[in-house]
Structure 1
Amino acid sequence: MNASTHASGSQLVPRVTVVVLTRNHVRQTVDTVARLMALPEHPNVIVADNGSSDTTVSLLASLFPQLRIVQGLRDLGMTGFNRAVALAHTDYVACCDDSTWFAPGALARATQLLDAHPRIAVISACVADEAEREIHPACQMLSATSPGGNGLPGPALVNFMAGACIFRASVLSELHRYEERLSHGGAEELVALDLLAAGHLIVYCEGALAHREPLYRWFTRAQHCTLARNSAWVAWMRLPLRDALAATGRALAVFARQRSLGPAGFAMLRGAFWALRRRHVVPPHVVQLTRQVRRAEHHVRIGVPAMAEKYDRSGQSAW
């Protein structure tokens, strides 16, 4: 028996459920599910399907009769995680997409850390290619720009990688789920700020290793604009005026670079009224942490050009 299971009678009951988000990626999803089910931690696995029109659902059901599949009727983006996570009945929930899988022992390590540190709500995993020769640029940024300290097992974060993380299920159920209007970028930013405001911690952990193929992808023009717009909306919902204005300025700069200043700017303005109705500024210590990380990101991008080239200028990594 390891940290990721506990005994119930004569059976070992998993303490971790892995939720896999997918849409029309049948080959990758089958491969990822097979890898997860072969893990020594024997986690429960749930597939959250975002309205696939290929054979993803039927083939998974045929190959893995014990697998639980939550089907959506359309592409829900990150909010596709919501229903599946609500069905998990374990202490912890790990989330990944159909091209990402946790390495053997990673879930056990995450479970040990969450058991030992009750204030940690989320562990953001270290993501690398299968050969572990290259680390995802977002992870490099997280480890380089986030403060450590106070006996934590890794740097304290103001955000996390939604496609490679392990949640404390009880904390996740207390807070609202991923916001549908931010479903294609930025939903994790809002959740992260709310977690920090409630007194929880987010930590980056190299020992919680996840593999991804391909390691990163390049964003389309529309995706660049969506990420920047949503990040501005989150700032208007949770950060002081100074920070909200700065996020708006960064978004407008992205729109201009992507030659979409008019349409994207209008969409951001229209959604700003929705965001302002949900405005609740986080406590000063959270604001200070976000500013500290933002300043550090600026210096890291200047000092490490190769990393900056792989890191989207809107402030999001090409995940």
Structure 2
Amino acid sequence: MRRSVYAVFMCLRPLLTWSALILSSTAHALDFAAAAYSAAHRGSAVLVMQGGQERYAAAQNGYDLKRPHLLASGSKSFGCALAVALQSDGKLQLDERVSATFPSWAGDPQRASVTVRQLLQFTTGLPGQVGPQAVRLQRDLYADALATPLRYPPGERYTYGNAHLAVFGALVQAKTGEDPAAYLQRRVLDPIGARATWTRDHAGHPNLAGSAFMTARDWGRYGQLFLQGGDWEGKAVLPREVLQACFQGSAALSAYGLTWWLNRPFEGTLDADDDVSMTIARAGSVAQQIAPGAPNAVVMAAGAFNQRLYLIPEQRLVVVRYGEGGPWSDNDFLKALLGP
């Protein structure tokens, strides 16, 4: 019996080998097609990981893969990781009120009801942007955001920008006595062998909404942590059950979770104070979805000048794309990568 099974396997082996080669060849052709689209649209780097292994990596248009790149608003995705880590460490709950930590908010009838979850959904009612876009020009981003009046009732409207995560950064600092970027590095990034550096305001605060720099491979490792449900090399860096909250949209905007974009039909509001939201709003106004040709399970972190981190669970893919601006279509890029 063993000999007959072995004989059958030996007969099938060439077919299995050819099938693997065809699949590999197809994957590389798709990688090249996606990379070509990126390069033609002022791309700097493309990285494709599948099943935790690097499948394709290329620097483009004179860039160096070892050089950290500005993530711009792609930095926002760290907000949910920070919140999940803090909840796991018993330092906060997603649905606790921000006013429990900041008494100045408790005296305001509207701000008193704002929750941590709303900070990460961008539905607090704060105006999206506080102060200059460039963090180096900010005097004290956290203090300014805390002092900013709400524009809308909490939970009613989605507003994109730096204000919500500036308040969240102040909250992390108050809860831990630690710089939020340092807490993120120690608690989340060090365990996966990744590193982020940050531009800061005059008070020394990192802008969690847009000032992180990472290499493509390090950002890819961060994406892989999420794709693996918070596990890394057999250890739970972030609890899987809490991490799922990052990918749940709100009543104010179905296509935005907790600091991650979701490839779902748009329902709700889109108040854009940032060119990332404007790009996504234009796509949504035509297709009512970020990438209608891609699986609905796709999620992404997105930054100005077309920085992208895509998670594609069905194909076990993590994809990083760096760029320097110009026209961009998430749908066209993902179509090139995933095929028809």
* Shared fold per TM-score greater than 0.5: no
Between 1 and 2, higher relative CO (CA 8 Å, sep ≥ 6) is seen in 2
Larger strand proportion of the pair: 1
Question: Could you tell me the TM-score, scaled by structure 1's length?
Answer: 0.28
Q: Which has the larger radius of gyration?
A: 2
Question: Could you tell me the TM-score, scaled by structure 2's length?
Answer: 0.26
